[in-house]
Amino acid sequence: MTAPQNPLLNDRDVDFLLYEVLDAPRLCALPYFADHARETFDLYLQSCRRFAREVLFPTYRPVDASPPRFEQGGVTVHPALKQVLRPMVDLGVLTAPRPAAVGGQQLPLVVATLAGAYLMAANLSACGYLGLTTGAAHLIETFGDDTLKATFMTRLYAGEWTGTMALTEPQAGSSLADVQARAATTAAGHYLVRGSKIFISGGDHDLTENIVHLTLARIEGAPPGIKGVSLFAVPKRRPERWPDGGRLVPNDVEVAGMIHKIGWRGLPSLAMSFGEKGDCHGYLVGKPHQGIAAMFQMMNEARIMVGANAAATASVAYQEALGYALVRPQGRRLGARDPEAPQVPIVEHADVRRMLLRQKAIVEGSLALVATTALLADLAAHAADAEERERAQRLLDLLTPITKTFPAEKGFESNALALQVHGGYGYSSEYLPEAWLRDQKLNTIHEGTTGIQGLDLLGRKAVAGGGAALMALGAEIQRAIGRAQRAGVEPAWGERLGAAMALVGDVTAHLAEAGMRGDVERMLRHSADYLELASTVVVAWQWLAMAAAAREGLAAGASPAVFYEGKLCAAQYWFSTELPRVEALAALCRSGEDSYARMRPEWF
């Protein structure tokens, strides 16, 4: 019994999304992407696929088995990570979508994201170092002065140094308004930073000679709350003579402890201490007291990255379960009466197909959602028309919390089903599904928990501008319904989706009224349920778009036909089993049901 090699992602599915569902080559008509065509997209995809499968994936198990060590004040990572970091940089992972002026390829983010998903599926910890580095460099590219760009950004984009997000503090958690790290001005122009941070991914390691922490702190005398937080670049080591003179010297940044994680075990999560000796130099990025606004650029990019990681982690587990189910013999078909008949692969059993189809619906719906969100980011930044850029930005803002959450929450369920398909082998460490399940759980927490994403979606994004983003989403869904009708998709699917989107609009208006009356608690009481409601509808939109493209492919005689039939079957599953749930979710949100709102701590 030998299962086929795990492909990580389905190549045909990725090509389908890029070229049949989203028509990514249309971006090449925009000046920013004018040097690209499908040929350059495919070249980058093929390079990432090959590296992910042949080089990166074999490192996953040993890296998971031997996490980083914190010894003698520093962190040592698995040697395999050192072997793959530079080749990943050489692939262009750090800078693929960035401008040529900073060493980038100006590749559409939608292409870079799907190509990167292969790498994430192969070894998400290795990708984590580079994803954080790109985010840090992009922050400095956007908000930093020329000195910071020359000193930090160029080295980050070159892969010589890595970057982090140093936001969270022990006493504050996700409440960035309660950041207490301090920054004192100096006559030399830098700031002296002092404070503690926790859960800093990649905060120390021996992969590169330096690490640049994009750090939130308060300048002395700053106003309280969010409006008093500034952003600083704080290197682990600083040039002896600022900005680039002499050797690198310690910058009073120390590791205070390591968090021992259940997943993402190759990427250390650390407690960090800044300025215990009074000599931690920080360099202001952007304007004073504008740190949160600037940091949201990196945070929103990271949220989409988490969604991509979650989709990739669900995908690699689904592919493993599918390969196993195709070759694992056990039992006979229902109704078989000959006890000596050969056993059949477990994929022949209906309940196994149920589990596989649910995984397929979640995985491929998640990948489509991530790709759509990345395409919107491309259009928001580079569309030729200002109105089109604004519309894309509204949709991007609306979809970001959904793109972060759905692949992680439903991906965890999908990962659990992959383990279940393996039966007793699934819960053994000799098989990989248990490791991917551990990895996936972290994605529901990374970059803002599901509860935080629900508050963001309902409390800000859905009601912003009088619901302008929801109206834009409704228009996109109507376009998808029209395409599906022309393609010959089951008409009831479009009707159900249109009704479900109207229901989302009605529920949003109902809850917004409570907020306008000053009852914010009532408005947001079921924000997590609202997030699930909206996510279910948004993914139905993705499945209708894929069903339309599948019908178009079948009508054109494209091959393989079985690929398109599988898409239509998965779409049927979503519309038959998931979309009907929106009515109950909508009723719950409307009702204001208050069991957990009125539950007192002493009653638990």
Helices (H) and strands (E) in the chain, counts: 20, 12
Confidence of residue 183 (pLDDT cuts 50, 70, 90): very high
The per-residue pLDDT for 175 is: 84
Task: Report d(CA 232, CA 593) in Å as an integer.
Answer: 44
Note whether 205 and 161 are within 8 A (CB): no
Query: How many angstroms separate the Cα of 348 from the Cα of each of 5, 155, 320?
Result: 20, 54, 17
Model pLDDT for residues 468-501, shown as the tens digit of each residue: 999 999 999 999 999 999 999 999 999 999 999 9
Task: Mean pLDDT check: name the lowest of 217-221, 293-297, 361-365, 488-492.
Answer: 293-297
Per-residue buried b or exposed e for 107-132, using 16+ beta carbons within 10 Å of the residue's own CB = bbbbbbbbbbbbbbbbbbbbbbbbbb
User: In the chain, helix, strand, coil percent, each to 5?
Assistant: 60, 10, 25
Give the pLDDT confidence of 415-434 residue by residue, as tens digits: 999 999 999 999 999 999 99
Whether the ω angle into residue 170 lies within 30 degrees of 0, i.e. cis, is: no
Residue-wise pLDDT for 500-528, tens only, equals 999 999 999 999 999 999 999 999 999 99
CB atoms < 10 A from the CB of 521, how many?
12
pLDDT tens sequence across 243-257: 888 899 999 999 999
CA distance 595 to 245: 63
Other C-beta atoms closer than 10 Å to the C-beta of 20 total 20
Kindly report whether the global pTM for this prediction surpasses the value 0.95: yes
Q: Catalytic: which of 20, 301, 320, 447? A: 447
Query: Can you tell me the distance from the alpha carbon of 257 to that of 469, in angstroms, rounded to the nearest whole number?
Result: 43
Report helix, strand or coil for 207: coil
pLDDT of residue 129: 98
Q: Label residue 576 by pLDDT band (50, 70, 90).
A: very high
Q: State whether the Cα torsion 205-208-214-217 is positive or negative.
A: positive
Query: Which residue matches tokens 């599948």?
Result: 550
Residue 153: pLDDT above 90? yes
Q: Is the per-residue pLDDT at 140 higher than 90?
A: yes
Task: Look at residue 1 in the predicted model and tell me its pLDDT.
Answer: 64
Cis peptide leading into 601, omega within 30 of 0?
A: no
Active site residue 447: yes
Radius of gyration of the chain (CA): 25
